[in-house]
Each structure stands twice: as structure tokens, then as C-alpha cells.
Amino acid sequence: MIKINEKVPDFEAKAFYKEDEHKIKLSDYSGKWVVLIFYPGDFTFVCPTELEEAAQHYHDFQELKAEVISISTDSVHTHKAWHDTSPAIQKVEYPMASDLGGHIARLFGVYIEQGEDMGRALRGTFIIDPDGVLKTIEINNNDVGRNTGETLRKLKAAQYVREHGGSLVCPASWEPGEETLKPGLDLVGKI
């Protein structure tokens, strides 16, 4: 499993994107922030609420020079069928990658190896920096949905820290414009 501050190995997947099937590679997004959203499966209950919420904020991610990629172990054809029939998923403009076999999910430690949900992914969100280095990990049980606003907040915080070379860090619940911390010192003021 890839860990925080490790370079993510390049991977390739088929994806449903812009009304068609495409091959995408992580390296296609070199120089950009990447937000990976693993989810258990198409035509489920919680998943469309999460993917729709990410779709509603997709332009916010793009303004931050970040790409969103959702990933499940379903086929590209299943992604297309879901997109064609679900009003929530029709809003998705970002790539919906297919991880048949779970190779990418295993790399990120979200593949379910046994039990009732075997072969599916846990709900995992990963933020990768422009150098391909993993900066955040969030993994939930499949019955607990995520908050896209919090993912955006974490992305902004990771970008802020990167822009300041790690000399300033972000405290709990930090939002842009709020006070930051200098490691070893107190709050340094609003930036």
C-alpha cells in the first residue's frame, strides 16, 4: 500500500469520460493535483450522492488546478450505463475509471479481499501533489459517505503548505485566510 509522502507509481485504466471510453494514466496528470475517489460500486445507494456532490464541486477543483478521478471495480460499460440512467451521475464530468481486478484499489489499500463485499473498494479519497506524491488519505467503511467540502479544504491546505515549502502548516479546520502555524512556534497570523 502506498503511504503518505511516497511517490505514487504510474497506473493505467480505462475510463468513461466525455461520453466515451478513454485510456487514462496517472502520468497524464503530471504537474497537476489529483484527487482519487474510490467507491464500492455503480448502481448503489451512497455512491451516487458522493459522486454527484463531487460533480457539483468539479469546477472548484479545476480552479485549484486539480483533476478528480472516481474509481470502482465496475467496467467502463457499467459506468456508461449508470451515467446514462442516473440523473445524479449524468452530472459527472470527470473521468470514471474502471479498476477491474482491483489492481489500483490494492495499491491504495482499499480493495476488499474477502467477505460479502469482496472484489469491491472501500470509500477512499487520496490527494496527490503535482510531483505525484501522496499527501492525504481518507478511508471510510462503505456505509459512511464522505464530504466533498472537506476534501476541497484538505486540498487547499496541502497546496498552502506546498507553496510555503513546509515552513507554515495548517491547524485543525483551517480555511484559506485563517491563521497558520510555523512549526515550533505559535500562530503567525492571517495569510
Active-site residue set: 47
Q: What is the CA radius of gyration of the chain?
A: 17
Looking at the structure, do residues 63 and 78 belong to the same domain, yes or no? yes
Query: Using an 8 Å Cβ cutoff, are 99 and 73 in contact?
Result: yes
**CA triplet 50, 105, 98: central angle to 5 degrees?**
70
Look at the pTM and tell me if it is higher than 0.85: yes
Answer for the pair 11, 101: CB distance below 8 angstroms, yes or no. Answer: no
Question: Is residue 58 in some structural domain?
Answer: yes
Examine residue 7 and state whether it is found in any structural domain, yes or no. no
Quickly list DSSP for 95-150.
Answer: -EEE-TTSHHHHHTT-B--SSTTTTSB-EEEEEE-TTSBEEEEEEE-TTS---HHH
Contact criterion met (CB below 8 Å) for 74 and 102: no
Regarding whether 68 and 127 lie in a shared domain, the answer is yes
Q: What is the pLDDT of residues 119-133, one digit of tens each?
A: 999 999 999 999 999
Q: Which domain holds residue 140?
A: 12-146
Residue 97 amino acid letter: A
pLDDT tens-digit profile, the chain (191 residues): 999 999 999 999 999 999 999 999 999 999 999 999 999 999 999 999 999 999 999 999 999 999 999 999 999 999 999 999 999 999 999 999 999 999 999 999 999 999 999 999 999 999 999 999 999 999 999 999 999 999 999 999 999 999 999 899 999 999 999 999 988 755 555 54
Boundary residue ending a domain (110, 130, 146): 146
| Greatest alpha-carbon span in the chain | 54
Domain count, the chain: 2
Q: Is residue 5 part of a domain?
A: no
User: Is there a domain that residue 6 lies in?
Assistant: no
Residue 2 in any domain: the answer is no
Do 108 and 91 share a structural domain?
yes
Q: What is the spatial distance between Cα 30 and Cα 53, in angstroms, rounded to a whole number?
A: 25
